[in-house]
Amino acid sequence: MVREWLALHRDEIELDWQLALQKNLLTRLIHWSKTMILHTTEVMPLANYRLSLRFNSGLSGEVDLAGELDGEVFGALRDPALFATAC
């Protein structure tokens, strides 16, 4: 997954490196805030407390949350009907 991310962002990383070498740190920070922060563009609940996710970078995948739904805040999501509203 790291190699996929690197392949997708090689140009941005090289640009950031060049900007850092020029000590133009403000421009570098603005560049990162526009291109490197991942945002979910699609969320689809699946069976067994899994989510299918797609991000603004084009990456997509599934996450298994079965072992994470504990405690006062997330425990309620163990209700399958509530978990199914996760989109």
pLDDT of residue 56: 80
Instruction: Indicate the DSSP class of residue 22.
Output: T
C-alpha pair distances (Å), 38 with each of 2, 44, 50: 14, 17, 20
**Residue 74, φ and ψ in degrees, nearest 5:** -95, -15
Same domain, 53 and 33: no
On whether both 62 and 84 belong to a single domain, the answer is yes
Question: Is residue 9 domain-shared with residue 20, that is, in the same domain?
Answer: yes
Entry pTM: 0.57
What's the pLDDT score for residue 20?
67
Q: Do the beta carbons of residue 9 and residue 56 sit within 8 Å?
A: no
Same domain as 22, residue 32: yes
Both 31 and 67 in one domain: the answer is no
At residue 25, the pLDDT reads 56
26-30, 60-64, 70-74: lowest mean pLDDT where?
Answer: 26-30
Cross-strand pairs, 61: 53
83 and 51 within one domain: yes
CATH of the domain at 73: 3.30.2020.10
Pure H helices in 1-87: 2-21, 25-35, 71-74, 80-83
